[in-house]
Amino acid sequence: MSQATLNVDLDAVVANWKFLKNLHNGKQTSAVVKADSYGLGAIQVTKALIKAGCERFFVATLSEALDLRAKLPTIKIYVFQGALKDEEAEYIHHHIHPVINTIQALKTWLKIQHENPTALEAAIHIDSGMNRLGLNFSDLNEPNLQAIKSLRADLLMTHYASASDLDSPQNAAQFDLMQQAEQMLPHLTTCYANSAAHFLPAKYHGDVTRPGCALYGINPLDNAADMMQNVATLTAPILQLRTLDKHETVGYGATETLPAGSKILTAGIGYADGIHRTASHRLYGFIGDYKLPQIGRVTMDMTCYDASNVPEKILQQATYIEILNHQQTVNDLARIYKTIGYEVLTSISQRVKRKYTK
Amino acid sequence: MSQATLNVDLDAVVANWKFLKNLHNGKQTSAVVKADSYGLGAIQVTKALIKAGCERFFVATLSEALDLRAKLPTIKIYVFQGALKDEEAEYIHHHIHPVINTIQALKTWLKIQHENPTALEAAIHIDSGMNRLGLNFSDLNEPNLQAIKSLRADLLMTHYASASDLDSPQNAAQFDLMQQAEQMLPHLTTCYANSAAHFLPAKYHGDVTRPGCALYGINPLDNAADMMQNVATLTAPILQLRTLDKHETVGYGATETLPAGSKILTAGIGYADGIHRTASHRLYGFIGDYKLPQIGRVTMDMTCYDASNVPEKILQQATYIEILNHQQTVNDLARIYKTIGYEVLTSISQRVKRKYTK
């Protein structure tokens, strides 16, 4: 079938993981594969990283953990959200590690571990500055500390709020708070660095790092050249070529006018596939090295491109165009969409076929 | 499991369909269920509309047609894209109607019908002003007209480019062109009106209408009060409640500061679920009639809300908040996202559980 396709280069994912592991001096590096590995396919990415030596995997929700567990019966899976009300039995049954974010969750999991010897170790998450999810630093007092110490736990986690800006004073402030937490909980393995924090001095990383975005080719830093390999290539089938008889408008609301003789290419990809509608008129499509300006509004299932600069012979032979590739990367699309690379990838919908290359 | 959930009211879909059918004087009205019924679930929506008397269903791609066919073996399915290269055998085998958009596709389907008596009727799509997909009006000359006449075909289609603006002169211009096409092809059943065009004078509709967006609660008109019933309610589990000890920042990049005593609610829904990141700071969450301003940036899996105005007792009992409902409709979210309701719905990702009520 001719359909919009996301080609995922698993070798590039592994290369990005190894690059970050080197920044962590070759020490333990895990992987964040939540949101279906940012839309690229959690099962395939996880399998590739297992082969590369990755041992711990983080997802956002229980539902994501169960999808992964169904295909990978033995890997270590942590759930950032932790066990919500009535979810605990699934964590026990499927051998999933909850992240403890609240005192209530701490008490519940302590009781569960007491009653179920097979309930797994929890990770303790301290919110050191996001004010989003996790224990408050001020929660680390008696009797809570005693409860944490009696819990079977392995990781002590936090999440940097501003690591993409390496110069932000918030990085040091959060790290200082975690050093105090470490003194109170010296038995835990620390796990601090997201992708961006790999570029901070090594002491900020913790023992185990947990990159996400950079694995998938997203530049994790605000003001630095991109060092990651491109992972994703998004293609769309060419549905129609049209040469305008006369000066005419294109698309909904007749927002764009093109001169007679213009060649319009209609491609089978639109905002229901995850091409943001805000990108209308600012996007490009590529046929080989030819760069085609997108024209008219991005519609639900189609986008049009001005193919006037492409030689007729090349145009007649082409069957697809590329929207996301090494010429228009996830970071470029982020600027065009006025968002971040993460959302560019997670927007790519399930209507788009996934294809894996090594 | 506690997870972000999209509740779809199938009775409201049917009520919206009947409302539009009435605008078409009770005559034949089909339904557009492409892009998984704009994210709401094509199988469930189609089943509900079959019961209401709907007979024809339109999707965008072959892949969507096959998904529908697998569950609904006998309904009439049309594919807007038409049969692309090498897809023809699937159309024949699964009894799917292609829409003919190019002279090449016309010739191919004519040959296929000649060789395969079971190949279904095609629909002829004239591009009367979108310049996106379909035959040019200028294509309607000999020998093409002869080819169309020898084709087994049922529908003559076009798509209005500016129908959401009832006063646009483009509506009449497109209709005039189609009247000329009808004179050349009087044997075909006409099928012109999308949702918005139901509000144009009846002659603009064609014999059969094909609404999409309005079925799903989207206001199809630019400058008119909304007349459609709300179909979708989107809920997110509450992950954590936090009271700030002191004046503090919230979220990535520390973009927002709240006074001591502020209550922050963290909900398990983010841009990987389809809440656009551009909506940061401009969205609301609802607990009953309490309206909670969203604070900090929308992140991949979570959003935070200022719950300071909600009485403690109600807050402690709440397990979820609503993001999309009758108080903050798809049309409201479209304004907040700076897009159209269509994209609000198609953005809701497959991580969000679908639940159907009648």
Q: How far apart are CA A234 and CA A353, in angstroms?
A: 10
Tens digits of residue pLDDT in A72-83: 999 999 999 999
Distance of CA A210 to the CA centre of its chain: 12
Residue A253 pLDDT > 80? no
Distance of CA A356 to the CA centre of its chain: 17
A contact test, residue of B300, B302, B304, B338 with most A CBs within 10 A: B300
Mean pLDDT of A221-234: 94
On whether any CB of chain B is under 8 Å from the CB of A131, the answer is yes
Portion 18-77 of A in contact with B at CB < 8 A: 34-36, 38-39, 60-64
In chain A, DSSP finds a helix count (H) and a strand count (E) of 11, 18
Q: How far apart are CA A58 and CA A38, in angstroms?
A: 12
- Cβ pair A197, A205 in contact under 8 A: yes
Residue A256 pLDDT > 90? no
Helix (H, G, I), strand (E, B) or coil at B51: helix
Over chain A, what is the mean pLDDT?
A: 96
On whether any CB of chain A is under 8 Å from the CB of B296, the answer is yes
- Cβ pair A36, A11 in contact under 8 A: no
Interface predicted TM-score of the whole assembly (ipTM), two decimals: 0.95
Q: CB neighbours of A323 closer than 8 A, spacing ≥ 6?
A: A234, A235, A236, A267, A269, A275, A283, A285, A286
Instruction: Write down the pTM of the prediction.
Output: 0.96
- Cβ pair A64, A81 in contact under 8 A: no
Percent of chain A at pLDDT above 90? Answer: 92
Mean pLDDT of A42-57: 98
Distance of CA B253 to the CA centre of its chain: 35
CA angle A151, A203, A150 (to 5 degrees): 10
Q: How far apart are CA B317 and CA B311, in angstroms?
A: 10
Portion 311-350 of A in contact with B at CB < 8 A: 319, 338-340, 342-343, 346-347, 349-350
Alpha-carbon dihedral sign for residues A201, A206, A207, A208: negative
- How many CB atoms sit inside 10 A of residue B67's CB? 16
Q: How far apart are CA A88 and CA A133, in angstroms?
A: 18
Tens digits of residue pLDDT in B276-334: 999 999 999 999 999 999 999 999 999 999 999 999 999 999 999 999 999 999 999 99
Residues from chain A that touch B302, judged by Cβ atoms under 8 A, are: 132-133
Residues from chain B that touch A1, judged by Cβ atoms under 8 A, are: 61-63, 84, 87, 90
Query: Strands B76-79 and B56-59, how do they pair?
Result: parallel
B contact test, residue of A101, A240, A243 with most B CBs within 10 A: A240
Q: Provide the H-helix boundaries in chain A.
A: 10-23, 34-38, 42-52, 62-71, 88-93, 103-115, 144-150, 169-184, 312-317, 330-337, 341-346
Residue A130 pLDDT > 90? no
Tell me whether the omega of the peptide bond preceding residue A73 falls within 30 degrees of 0, making it cis. no
With an 8 Å Cβ cutoff, are A266 and B133 in contact? Answer: yes
Read off the amino acid at residue B132: R
With an 8 Å Cβ cutoff, are B299 and A132 in contact? Answer: yes
